[in-house]
Amino acid sequence: MKLKYGVLTASIAWMVFLLWYMNRPPKPGPDFDVDPQYLIPPRQTYDPGLAAAFEQGQRDFWQKPDQVLDVLGDLDGLTVADIGCGEGYFTLRLLDRVGPEGTVFATDIQPDLLDRLAHSVPPEWASRLQLVLAEGDTIGIEGQVDLIFLVQVLGEVSHQRAFLSALSAIMGPTSRLVLIDSKHVTDPKTGYTRPLDQNRLLADLGSMGLVPDPQIPEENLQFLPKQFFFVLVKSKPR
Q: How many domains does the chain have?
A: 1
Decide if 174 contacts 127 (C-beta within 8 A). Answer: no
Q: How far apart are CA 143 and CA 151, in angstroms?
A: 21
pLDDT beyond 50 at 27: no
Per-residue pLDDT tens over the stretch 55-80: 556 889 999 999 999 999 999 999 99
Decide if 77 contacts 98 (C-beta within 8 A). Answer: yes
CB atoms within 10 A of CB 136: 9
* Residue 99 Cα distances to 95, 170, 217, angstroms: 7, 22, 26
9 domain residue, yes or no = no
Three-state SS annotation for 84-124: CCCCCHHHHHHHHHHCCCCEEEEEECCHHHHHHHHHHCCHH
Domain that holds residue 223: 33-234
CATH number of the CATH domain containing 56: 3.40.50.150
* Greater model confidence, 207 or 26: 207
161 domain residue, yes or no = yes
66 domain residue, yes or no = yes
pTM score: 0.81
Q: What is the pLDDT of residue 185?
A: 82
Q: Can you tell me the mean pLDDT for 22-46?
A: 61
Per-residue pLDDT tens over the stretch 201-228: 999 999 999 999 999 999 999 999 999 9
17 domain residue, yes or no = no
163 domain residue, yes or no = yes
Burial 5-32 (b: 16+ CB within 10 A, else e): eeeeeeeeeeeeeeeeeeeeeeeeeeee
